[in-house]
Amino acid sequence: MGSPVDRSFDFIVVGAGTAGCALAARLSEPGANVLLLEAGGEARSPWIKIPVGYAKLLGDPRYNWMYRTEPETALGGRVLDVPCGRTLGGTGAINGLIHIRGHAADYDGWRDAGNHGWGYADVLSWFRHSEANVRGASEYHGADGPLAVSDPRPDTLSNAFVDAAVEAGLPRNEDFNGATQDGAGFYQLNTLRGTRASSAGAYLAPARGRASLAVQTDALVHRILFDGDRAIGVEYAHRGRVLRARATKIVLSAGAFNSPQLLLRSGIGPASQLHAHDIPVVADSPGVGDNLHNHYRASVIVRCRPGLSLNELTQSFGARVGMALAYIFARRGPLATGTSAGGFFRSDAARDRPDIQVTFWNYSVAKRDARGLELHDFPAYTANAVILRPRSRGSLRLASRDPAAAPLIRYNHLDHPEDRHAIAAGLALVRRIVAMPSLAKLSDGELAPGVVLSNENDLIDYAREHGNSVYHPVGTCRMGVDERAVVDPQLRVRGVRGLRVADASIMPTIIAGNTNAPTLMIAERAAAWMLAER
């Protein structure tokens, strides 16, 4: 296809992340002319393909927007790093690979809030449609979709965690994306023969030879162009030039930070905020940037017997060489898999569904810096307690009209008292599992929070000081039927025509689990609607 400047398109997709790559591929299948714009570059780093390579990419501005929060009041003024993928594949190119849909009740809650067609029975077929599951086709799984879903090869510590959870009286679950979510088990992962499987590789790569698809990297979209209330194109920067492209329909898939930013820069948002930045109002949409929320975690770190932890393998030159050779020649070993063990649990029996997720790591992090993660120099493992249904809500605001300026991000983690209670209950649950024989016999003392911290207030204080986001931002372009909703149940931006948002930003409430698979489902639904309207 020729230069994007030279022609008009049927569709422009802004953002080549998990959703955008799928949208561009699906929309161009029947021959519609599609332009996909991505602010980042090609995914050239070898660490992107290696499942544990994300630890090396969290501090790399070539592949990460490197956003940070404003000081978090409920966390004592701490400023949190906010990883956000900036390359083909988006955050799906630098995430932890866990393939989780969430709980059926999450989607039924969306439906019951007025979002017709978003109940679990409605979206299940789209989940199946997207996946190529190693377990084959079934009521809950698809085998013929683009994205690989594989089973992990658990290590000794991960197996011990699952056994310990069962010893603690919790059920064993063979499929977190099956009939029930409760219990401990092994996560399925987006890997294919020991390499990362992302939307960029699964959807976009096979489509890039189509004459109907143009992919432009290093293209930062400044604003959406309008004729009255109809979106007619975009203005973007590419290698020092400011260019324009036109289309019949435009869809934003830039994620929970960049999609609302682009709406605001284009004149869609709270009128008072737009006026403050001298941005002409196209549509006064008060909910743009509100409803930001995310999962929050706090960790129990335990020393363990020698020979079990990934920590040791990173300290020894010989072990590092062995890991590299195992990966290069067999796509096996520690480099070939991500987080494998964990579970979904109820902090008390009265709850109707899990409110705590646990992710188990066979390593422990000493510090995070611009180079990524640095592990402890002694053997240890980590069990993370994650709040699945946070009540705290934050916001995203423009810092300036400058398209290159980072937004003002406020999560307000642990602002709501129920979240503080939940994180303390989650840490207590993790400690109960760790104390069971299967793990206790491999352990050598709790490092953090430390046994002297035992009551709820102690654990809350620990979570404030040492907890972190789980990098699942959602909600800033909320789907709904009320006046503060940003998009309607078919993801059309309210107040204008010809414009949709299709990414994690549209989630009214966060799902109970990792957000990559639900984001892909959202893209599949949006593509079907857009093609039906063509």
Residues carrying an active site annotation:
472
Residues in a beta bridge with 361: 382
Coil, strand or helix at 349? coil
For the chain, report the end-to-end CA distance as a whole number of angstroms. 20
Q: Is the pLDDT of residue 38 over 50?
A: yes
Is residue 93 within 8 A of residue 85, CB to CB? The reply is: yes
Q: Is the pLDDT of residue 330 over 80?
A: no
Predicted confidence at residue 1, as pLDDT, reads: 46
pLDDT range class, residue 262, cuts 50, 70, 90: very high
Predicted confidence at residue 371, as pLDDT, reads: 65
Predicted confidence at residue 26, as pLDDT, reads: 98
Average pLDDT on 504-510 reads 99
Work out the mean pLDDT of the chain and round it to a whole number.
Answer: 95
Residues in a beta bridge with 82: 67
Distance CA 137, CA 122 (A): 18
pLDDT digits (tens, 9 = 90+) for 435-456: 999 999 999 999 999 999 999 9
pLDDT range class, residue 313, cuts 50, 70, 90: confident
pLDDT digits (tens, 9 = 90+) for 158-202: 999 999 999 999 999 999 999 999 999 999 999 999 999 999 999
Q: Is the pLDDT of residue 282 over 70?
A: yes
Which residue has 């398209």 as its token pair? 403
pLDDT digits (tens, 9 = 90+) for 397-446: 999 999 999 999 999 999 999 999 999 999 999 999 999 999 999 999 99
Average pLDDT on 239-259 reads 98
Going along 347-428, which residue ranges are E strands?
A: 356-361, 365-369, 372-375, 380-387, 394-397, 408-410
Q: Is the pLDDT of residue 527 over 70?
A: yes
Percentage of residues in the chain having pLDDT higher than 90: 88
Predicted confidence at residue 103, as pLDDT, reads: 98
For the chain, which domains are there? Answer: 4-45+199-292+475-533 (3.50.50.60)
Which residue has 């404030």 as its token pair? 464
Percentage of residues in the chain having pLDDT higher than 70: 97
pTM of the full predicted structure?
A: 0.96
pLDDT range class, residue 2, cuts 50, 70, 90: very low
